[in-house]
Amino acid sequence: MEEIGDLIGKGFGAWKENLNLCIPFLLSTFFSLLALLPFLSALIKVISQEGLESLPPQEWMPILKDALPGLAPSFFASLVLLILFGSFFFAGAIGMARQALEKGRASTGMIWSSGRKNMLNLFLTTLLIDLIMAAGLLFLLPWALVSVAHSSSDTITLGLLLAGVLLLILYALSVSLLLALSPYALVVDGLGPLQAVRASVAFFKYNKFDVFLLWLIILALALGLQMLGGWSSADSVKGLQPLAAIAGALNLLVVSPLSTLWWTRLYLSRTFKLKEEVKTIW
């Protein structure tokens, strides 16, 4: 079985030979901006009709609150488009990563091929994972109710709320680990949403350490870029934030393609080994 260090090194080598792996992420960013147009257009219309541009920002909230029912349809339309575009191009990125790992070269034509084939299932999987994540908010409910019952004590209230938040964070981290391989199982093996979720959980069951270690490495890279972008707020020049731009570019051009290659290679190498063992047993 391939060690995680070898997997990371070979994934990096595959990325150097296939720099076009960043194209799905660049296209996804562009189309995501387009997906925001329905909501932004509706918001600009409200601002114009209500004359908000002539008011200080602190007076906007009551007016925008009253306009929420009218903004809701455009907001949900933009949200659906965002997930659809993201699903299409992420499926294309996984398809390209698999092609790069198996054949040495990735073709941009795989974006359309893999994206068209898996977009709907990946869209549904994304919604399913979001619902599972949202279910974690239920952890806050009992703690919030108890804290209200003890509202006479600020210390107890704060402690109970912090306990609920801690449980929510632990739940979110657990779900992100368990379901990390869902998109890859879906695209690589052509599974449906529920099958992909179950496959990811089963994969984690047999590869806990490797999944956790790779997840931790990618999280560290993401946090590092976020910190780099955050520093730009203090170093901005004439309204520009060069460090934020550099961090965004590194994420799209390097980290996103690399992480996709690493997860795809991990899934391919471990599931191939498992399938070979099953064949040997039977």
What the block records as the tokens of 249 is: 């570019």
**In percent, how much of the chain has pLDDT > 70?**
76
Give the C-alpha separation, 14 to 102, whole Å.
10
What the block records as the tokens of 247 is: 């961090």
CB 80 within 8 A of CB 72: no
Over residues 164-182, mean pLDDT: 89
Over residues 206-219, mean pLDDT: 93
Q: What pLDDT score does 93 carry?
A: 97
Q: Domain residues for 152?
A: 4-281
Contacts of 282 (CB under 8 A, 6+ apart): none
Q: What is the domain count for the chain?
A: 1
Please give the torsion angle defined by the CA atoms of residues 255, 256, 261 and 266, in that order, rounded to the nearest 10 degrees: 90
Which pLDDT band holds residue 45 (cuts at 50, 70, 90)? confident
Q: What pLDDT score does 282 carry?
A: 33
More confident residue, 38 or 183: 183
Q: What pLDDT score does 51 carry?
A: 64
Over residues 39-65, mean pLDDT: 69
CB 221 within 8 A of CB 254: no
Q: What pLDDT score does 30 carry?
A: 95
Q: Is 207 helix (H, G, I), strand (E, B) or coil?
A: coil
Q: Is 245 helix (H, G, I), strand (E, B) or coil?
A: helix
Residue 121 has, within 13 A of its CA and on its CB side, a CA count of 23
276 pLDDT higher than 90: no
Q: What pLDDT score does 58 carry?
A: 59
Q: What pLDDT score does 43 carry?
A: 77
228 pLDDT higher than 50: yes
DSSP state of 174: H
53 pLDDT higher than 60: yes
Phi-psi region of 51 (alpha: psi -120 to 50; beta: other; left: phi over 0): left
CB atoms within 10 A of CB 270: 19
Lowest mean pLDDT: which of 61-65, 83-87, 152-156, 257-261?
152-156
Lowest mean pLDDT: which of 38-47, 136-145, 191-200?
136-145
Which pLDDT band holds residue 223 (cuts at 50, 70, 90)? confident
Maximal CA-CA distance, the chain: 75
